[in-house]
Chain A
Amino acid sequence: MSNDVATTKEVKIAKADRKVRRRNHNFSNGDRATIATFVGVPTLIHIFMVWIPAICTVLLSFTFWDGIGGLKNIKWVGFTNYRQIVQLDADFGPAIRNNLYWLAVFALIATPLGILLAYYIDKNLKGTKFYQTSFYMPLVISLAVTGIIWDYVFNSDGLINSLLGNNTNDSAIDFWGDPHKNIWVVLFIASWRHIGYIMLLYLAGMKSVDPSLREAAAIDGATEWSTFRKVVVPSLRPVNVIIIVVTIIESLRAFDLVYIINRGTNGLQLLGVLVYDNILGSSMRIGWGAAYATLLFILCIGPIIVYLYQNFSRDE
């Protein structure tokens, strides 16, 4: 189509269009300053507080540095830190394994349970408020208190061992100290917290689902399961994205709970703990810590990118 055949009307529209655009760009200096401030300052903060440290971390993961003596003491060593971590660090395997356990338990058990609870609580059963509060309670309690509560339950002279009649040191089940058991105890506690979190998020989302959709499905003879699967879940897509991202991030950045239990040693190693222990504390092996941080970053961002990409391409 050439300009020759363009109708007057089309030309007019184009002109008007250009006019509108020009008007939009016609900011006063004050406006420009405001926009620059409102966009520029957060961008600068973001770059300085997030991206520059992140890039520096990745760079430091290729170096030896003990944090002493400034930049000139940083020694470039290529992939040595990564190689050493994989080959030598006895904590690497357990940490990766535990982070994956964490992810699996959250994704397959805790998150679905949270959604299920949200679904039932949304039905306004008798005592809904009570259940809602009870399930959310674990998130309100500080981690230190959480630790003490469950210590009473799982300790060698705690509730479970007492109920089982294991009263002597020799017969008691060693929930905290046995590296094959303690991770499951911790995952139980973490799930106990996570379920309430997911429940609250999903509940908030479900309140926004138009009840007439469900009624219509019920009239059409849909079972409860298929109503949930085909009506409720699809209409909550934005919430689903949040829940999946939250589940991945919560399980990979896990740190605090194991740190208050035993500083993340002996069966409770996690990548987050290894980052911390190598960079802070007495070690100052910054290259290793940075390498762990980089691995953790890749692990976190990888699945999220894949999920978001798939989700948005489906939308289109």
Chain B
Amino acid sequence: MSDMINEEGVSRRSVLKGAAAGAAVVAAGGLLGATAGSTAANAANVTASFGSNNSNPPGPKEDAAWVAAAAAAGIDVKLNVVDHNTFQNQINTYLQGTPDDVFDWFAGYRMQFFAKKGLLTPATAVWAKINADFAPGFKAASTGLDGKQYLVPTDWYPWALHYRKSVWKAAGVNPASIKTFADLVAACKVFKAKGYIPMAMADKGGWEAMGTFDIINMRTNGYQFHVDLMAGRAKWTDPRVQKTFANWKTLIPFQNKSPLNETDQTAGTMVLQKKAAMIMMGSFTSGLYTNKADYNDLALIPFPSINPAYGTDSIDAPIDGVLMSNAAAKNLPAAEALMEFIASTTFSDTITAIAPGLFANKHAKVSADPFIQSQVKLVNATKHVAQFLDRDTRPDFAYPIVSAAIQKFLTGGDAVAIAKNLQAQWDALPPA
């Protein structure tokens, strides 16, 4: 009911680590500003300020740990922690006011948007040093439209079909056999016959089903079309969009009846409680599996191939990271040193010691946990990594325009009319 985790709330840090954003959007007051003192300053240290949105537990613990590690590495960090949702809502004012040198943000369009508005300092010099530590996909996701890198990626989580091994075993469906869309539909029929909801679907928040749209669109029409569509280079009135909706329509009979009444949490719980057989969701759904036995039963498979031309070459795997604001230009050496530190394994290993996750640095320690390992395997087998619909398109298009359109589709709306309205709304957007 009060789960209003908006797109910002999907941040792996806030969700995976068990901090439901809850009703904080309405209740969020002013900045919950808290300037933590930097640790005992080494005279030779440089000083940079950092704006953290990592306010939900264990965020403060993580922040304290890496700030201490940074001080040891020669950078005194003036930490400015802001409530997670407040930070997102005030990002425009924040970046135009007196921003910190370096701050938490996301990859993709939501970064490019600010880069284009001239509110960021490029991190090309940093990337020249850290290039070897990151897979090319991460570099691409950190690059603005002008070809310069702005982001230093920290961590990420993939979107995939999540299921319980025991449920699939009981129903006699072999996860490894789901290679094509037809296989998936056949499996759904088996699950339905056995009394399961084959696919749990949520879209109460308006963002949950975007992951399903993304994956079906990328499987049907390829990564490039998806990116073009998100950027407005391809039209929503393109017949290919209708193919995506038509494929999705095939799955609707296998979804729970009222997706608009379900959140990622409630739909994820259907899988946890073995009422539903699978869910297309970010791996943060594992946050629901607090019981160790349940967690060990959780697994994922990539969404199967639809168009053989594209196979399973793309996924959504949103990347979080840090950016340099305009203010960093006045404190560039220190800010760049801080960016470089955050790109290092010292940073990721410090965080892993507190809460294991997936880090962008390819040399980062990875937890041996099989579920984490399966996420690594999934992303390593993928050629193109998309961010997520609301991170790949204009923020004023994602909400409330696309979110409302998908909700309409899920409640039986006519896909042709929906696509037509989406294009008309895109065309009416103020120039970005």
A: which residues have CB within 8 A of B?
64-70, 75, 84, 87-91, 144, 147-148, 151, 155-156, 169-170, 172, 174, 176-179, 256, 259-263, 265-266, 274, 277-278, 280-285, 287
Contact = CB atoms under 8 A, between A and B. Distances in A.
Interface string B177-209: 000000000000000000001000000111000
Given A88-B421, A263-B4, A282 B258 contact: no
B170 to A, nearest CB: 19
Contacts of A177: 204, 258-262, 411
Nearest to A145: B2
Contacts of B425: 88-89
B96 A281 contact: no
Contact of B6 (A144, A147, A261, A281): A281
Contacts of A266: 260, 404, 407, 411
28 contacts: A66-B430, A88-B428, A90-B421, A91-B400, A144-B2, A147-B1, A148-B2, A156-B258, A169-B197, A169-B257, A169-B258, A170-B257, A172-B257, A174-B257, A176-B258, A177-B258, A179-B411, A262-B260, A263-B6, A266-B404, A277-B399, A281-B89, A282-B7, A282-B390, A283-B399, A284-B92, A284-B396, A285-B429
Contacts of B26: 256, 259-260
A282 B395 contact: yes
B123 interface: no
B257 A68 contact: no
Given A68-B96, A177-B261, A283-B396, A91 B4 contact: no
B101 interface: no
A286 to B, nearest CB: 9
A174 B255 CA distance: 14
Given A156-B261, A178-B258, A262 B204 contact: yes
Given A88-B421, A88-B428, A284-B395, 4 more contacts: A65-B430, A266-B407, A274-B400, A277-B399
B408 interface: yes
B1 A90 contact: no
B47 interface: no
A183 to B, nearest CB: 13
Nearest to A255: B26
Contacts of A66: 92, 396, 430, 432
Interface of B: 1-2, 4, 6-8, 23, 26, 88-89, 92-93, 95-96, 117-119, 197, 204-206, 256-262, 275, 390, 395-396, 398-400, 403-405, 407-408, 411, 421, 424-425, 428-432
A178 B262 CA distance: 12
B4 A260 contact: yes
B154 to A, nearest CB: 21
A277 B197 CA distance: 33
A256 B2 CA distance: 11
Contact of A91 (B88, B96, B404, B411): B404
Contact of B1 (A174, A261, A278): A261
Contact of A265 (B197, B275, B404, B428): B404
A261 B204 CA distance: 9
Contacts of B117: 68-69
Nearest to B260: A177
Contacts of A283: 395-396, 399-400
Contacts of A91: 400, 404
Contacts of A278: 400
Contacts, number: 121
A144 B96 contact: no
Contacts of A284: 92, 395-396
Contacts of B396: 66, 282-285
B321 to A, nearest CB: 18
Contacts of A262: 204-205, 260
Contact of A90 (B205, B206, B261, B408): B408
B261 A265 contact: no
Contacts of B405: 90
B404 A75 contact: no
Contacts of A174: 257-258, 261
Contacts of B262: 177
B144 to A, nearest CB: 16
Contact of A281 (B399, B429, B432): B399
B37 to A, nearest CB: 32
Nearest to A171: B257
A265 B92 CA distance: 24
B197 A84 contact: no
B206 A263 contact: yes
Contact of A282 (B6, B119, B204): B6
Contacts of B275: 169
A28 to B, nearest CB: 43
Contacts of B1: 147-148, 151, 260-261
A75 B430 contact: yes
B394 to A, nearest CB: 9
A260 B23 contact: yes
Interface centre among B1, B92, B258, B390 (most CB of A within 10 A): B1
Contacts of B259: 177
A148 to B, nearest CB: 6
B399 A169 contact: no
Given A90-B421, A147-B1, A282-B6, A68 B119 contact: yes
Given A147-B2, A262-B204, A282 B257 contact: no
Nearest to B22: A144
A156 B261 CA distance: 9
B405 to A, nearest CB: 7
Given A156-B258, A265-B403, A266-B411, A285 B92 contact: no
